[in-house]
Amino acid sequence: MNVLRAVVCVCLLVTAGAVAAQTTSECPSLPASSGLQWQSLVQRDFILCKATAADGREVLSLTLSARNPELPLNRALRQEKGSFAGETLYWYQPDLGGQQPPGYDTRRITVVKFDKNRFAQIALYAGDKSELGSLQTLAQGMNLTPSAVAAGR
């Protein structure tokens, strides 16, 4: 009987953890139609939100921080223009030291300063050009949660 209780408790904890990962209040809300789910890591000085597709692929990551990530964004790798949190941005192909692994042409990264000492680093890992466009549109429409902004992350 005690073993059964322990198994039930473990199952409930695992389920609660999975639900918390899907409904993380620190991460921007995702449209239900996107089929994406957040997994998050909340630390004292940053929030990391990773969106995964139904097949388990990470397709988007968003890091909110009070520190500038000082990521070098090479103008030669500049691609599309966009926006996030009301700020204009450019998407860049990541600088991988000249390497171009499979899927490189649909990877994008950017850094946005959206408030005094508040930064967002966004990376997209699209499977194709169509998914890239969808992810860029999704990022453009994201609203930052009041708790994440208020916490100064």
Determine the pLDDT at residue 116: 84
Mean pLDDT for each 10-residue chunk of the chain (153 residues)? 35 37 68 92 93 95 94 95 92 93 95 90 96 95 62 47
CA–CA dist 22, 16 (Å, integer): 10
Beta bridge partners of 112: 120
Structure tokens at 118: 């508040």
Q: Is 98 left (phi over 0), alpha (psi -120 to 50) or beta?
A: left
Determine the pLDDT at residue 145: 58
Determine the pLDDT at residue 124: 98
Determine the pLDDT at residue 115: 81
Whole-prediction pTM value? 0.78
